[in-house]
């Protein structure tokens, strides 16, 4: 679409914002239909955006921005498997990973490959889950090879299927990521090597953190059992077959992924194998089905009823027009404790960019700073700032209608807290008799996402919703959501710093900024192993 159409759309939005700048959101509720008009449902989720500072005219102008940015074509291009990851010249086909037979997302060949690998992976997962040989499974991976499966395993803990499978105890599934090795060390203190399976998840199989933990785990198995035991105690997921060979991963215990899957979009692939072991194949497939239901909605629903598009446009409004650069994601379900961390990678690694697809500067704000914690606990920590502090945030409240642990009396309290906070964020506390210290301005923009129960299908839909929100926003900002050059520089420098840290002397060529630090570290550590 012509540049001028976009400029016109942005200019119109600026006028709407100026018109609404002093408007209190609570006053929009003079329309008794506000809730019905400003809520949209899909795939088991209800989005209530009636507490966002927009009216019908501003929403229409946001729709025009989406049209001017070519969002409809961009969505179609993603599902067709076009190379929408322009800098790396490849597709971003995570939607192909959750497709059912016959959907042909990405084409017939990709569908066949995905379904074949899914069947292999789930059969392996069930054999580990029910086979009784292993009581401990340790997933080794970082970033997208950790956050999604770890978040989902915690969220779906109540779907792990009881303590036993027939005569056997189900294995406990753990996730380790950090290069400091402490999480792994803690697990190895009590794990029985004969009954422990490690799953190394790394798209590239070159990530320093993952390889460091995998080598330590390998040495532990080889030392406590034997070198010959390594192939049966390791499985792996990667595109890098040569590196899996070199590590000694048996061909039957390795699983494919494809370069058209971004790490942060990969939990639907064999990267989810540890999750599949934790919750079982049927629940894993229900997770995929939930995500696919959201995919269909994103692809087919008109923008006015399209949940991810609605969320994307409201995000653009809050970031670029209202000037709120942060998004607090606050689940009222403690099983979603890692969901904000998962979203941090999804949103900020995707859209934390400052140049357009063509390499020019982006004219508008891009990814929000995403942060959050389980809402009820956060009420007693940082909600003070949300209500009365100077930095203001847009807020997503995620609320389950049923308990994730069978304690409905407790969930009633959780829901009451979420609704009470939504009211406080909207109305605040002002007026006669309210001292300055007690004033709550209100007018904090809140979206509520309601779901029946945190089950696999609902979680799949929830994750897919945010994935599509991120993609829709990237299209509006004109950026590529699927590369991550911003993490490469630190990785590169790490490889040059490590030998400096281990060297006997500090060479004269080392930068003055690093020289002082290296000296301080060496003085405090003595020798560096």
Sites of contact with ligand F6P (CB under 6 A): 142-145, 202-204, 207, 210, 263-264, 349, 484, 487
User: Exposed, middle or buried by CB within 10 Å (0-12, 13-18, 19+), for 247?
Assistant: buried
Instruction: Round to whole Å and give the CA distance between 189 and 407.
Output: 34
Task: Tell me whether residue 236 or residue 399 sits nearer to ligand F6P (CB atom).
Answer: 236
- Non-local CB neighbours of 472 within 8 Å, separated by 6+ positions: 66, 71, 74, 75, 308, 309, 312, 313
Nearest-approach distance from CB 61 to ligand F6P, in angstroms? 35
Instruction: Round to whole Å and give the CA distance between 486 and 237.
Output: 24
Nearest-approach distance from CB 351 to ligand F6P, in angstroms? 13
* DSSP code at position 241: H
Asked whether the beta carbons of 316 and 365 are under 8 A apart, the reply is: no
Task: Tell me whether residue 210 or residue 403 sits nearer to ligand F6P (CB atom).
Answer: 210
Its sign, for the CA torsion 175, 181, 186, 191, is positive
Nearest-approach distance from CB 299 to ligand F6P, in angstroms? 25
β-pair partners for 395 = 328, 446
Backbone angles phi, psi at 263, to 5 degrees: -50, -45
Task: Tell me whether residue 210 or residue 306 sits nearer to ligand F6P (CB atom).
Answer: 210
Nearest-approach distance from CB 204 to ligand F6P, in angstroms? 3
Task: Tell me whether residue 145 or residue 253 sits nearer to ligand F6P (CB atom).
Answer: 145
By beta carbon distance, the residue nearest ligand F6P is 263
Task: Tell me whether residue 199 or residue 399 sits nearer to ligand F6P (CB atom).
Answer: 199
Q: Which run of H or of E encompasses 97?
A: helix 94-97
- Non-local CB neighbours of 110 within 8 Å, separated by 6+ positions: 81, 93, 96, 258
Nearest-approach distance from CB 206 to ligand F6P, in angstroms? 7
Give catalytic residues, as residue numbers. Answer: 349, 380, 491
Task: Tell me whether residue 376 or residue 484 sits nearer to ligand F6P (CB atom).
Answer: 484
- Non-local CB neighbours of 384 within 8 Å, separated by 6+ positions: none
Nearest-approach distance from CB 245 to ligand F6P, in angstroms? 17
Instruction: Round to whole Å and give the CA distance between 189 and 399.
Output: 37
Q: Give me 272's structure tokens.
A: 């989810």
Instruction: Round to whole Å and give the CA distance between 147 and 271.
Output: 10
């Amino acid at each position: 679409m012509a540049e001028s159409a976009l400029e016109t759309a942005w200019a119109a939005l600026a006028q709407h914002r100026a018109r609404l700048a002093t408007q209190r959101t609570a006053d929009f509720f003079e329309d008794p239909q506000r809730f019905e008009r400003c809520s949209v449902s899909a795939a088991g989720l209800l989005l209530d955006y009636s507490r966002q500072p927009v009216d019908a005219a501003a929403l229409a102008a946001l729709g025009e921005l989406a049209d001017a940015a070519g969002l409809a074509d961009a969505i179609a291009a993603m599902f067709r498997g076009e190379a929408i990851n322009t800098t790396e010249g490849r597709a971003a086909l995570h939607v192909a990973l959750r497709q059912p037979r016959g959907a042909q997302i990405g084409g017939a060949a990709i569908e066949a490959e995905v379904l074949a690998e899914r069947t292999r992976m789930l059969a392996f997962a069930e054999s580990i889950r029910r086979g009784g040989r292993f009581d401990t499974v340790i997933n080794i991976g970082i970033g997208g090879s950790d956050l999604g499966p770890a978040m989902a395993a915690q969220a779906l803990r109540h779907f792990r299927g009881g303590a036993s499978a027939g005569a056997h105890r189900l294995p406990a599934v753990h996730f380790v990521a950090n290069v400091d090795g402490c999480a792994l060390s803690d697990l190895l203190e009590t794990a029985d090597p004969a009954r422990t399976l490690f799953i190394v998840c790394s798209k590239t199989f070159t990530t320093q953190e993952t390889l460091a933990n995998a080598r330590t785990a390998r040495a532990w198995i080889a030392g406590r059992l034997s070198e010959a035991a390594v192939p049966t105690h390791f499985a792996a997921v990667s595109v890098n077959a040569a590196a899996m060979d070199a590590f000694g991963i048996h061909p039957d215990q390795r699983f494919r992924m494809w370069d058209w899957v971004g790490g942060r979009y990969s939990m639907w692939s064999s990267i989810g194998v540890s999750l599949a072991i934790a919750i079982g194949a049927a629940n894993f497939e229900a997770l995929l089905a939930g995500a696919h239901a959201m995919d269909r909605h994103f692809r087919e629903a008109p923008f006015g009823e399209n949940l991810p598009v609605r969320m994307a446009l409201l995000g653009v409004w809050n970031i670029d027009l209202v000037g709120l650069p942060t998004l607090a994601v606050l689940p009222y379900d403690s099983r979603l404790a890692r969901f904000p961390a998962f979203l941090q990678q999804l949103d900020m690694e995707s859209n934390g960019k400052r140049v357009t697809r063509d390499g020019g500067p982006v004219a508008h704000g891009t990814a929000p700073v995403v942060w959050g914690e389980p809402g009820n606990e956060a009420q007693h920590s940082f909600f003070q700032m949300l209500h009365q502090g100077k930095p203001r945030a847009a807020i997503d409240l995620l609320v389950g209608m049923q308990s994730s642990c069978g304690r409905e009396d407790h969930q009633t309290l959780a829901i009451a807290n979420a609704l009470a906070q939504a009211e406080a964020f909207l109305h605040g506390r002002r007026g006669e008799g309210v001292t300055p210290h007690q004033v709550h301005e209100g007018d904090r923009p809140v979206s509520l996402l309601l779901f029946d129960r945190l089950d696999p299908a609902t979680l799949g839909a929830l994750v897919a919703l945010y994935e599509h929100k991120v993609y829709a926003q990237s299209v509006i900002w004109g950026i590529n959501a699927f590369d991550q050059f911003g993490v490469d520089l630190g990785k590169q420098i790490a490889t040059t710093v490590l030998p400096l840290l281990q060297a006997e002397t500090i060479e004269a060529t080392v930068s003055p900024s690093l020289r002082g630090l290296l000296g301080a570290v060496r003085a405090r550590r003595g020798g560096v192993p």
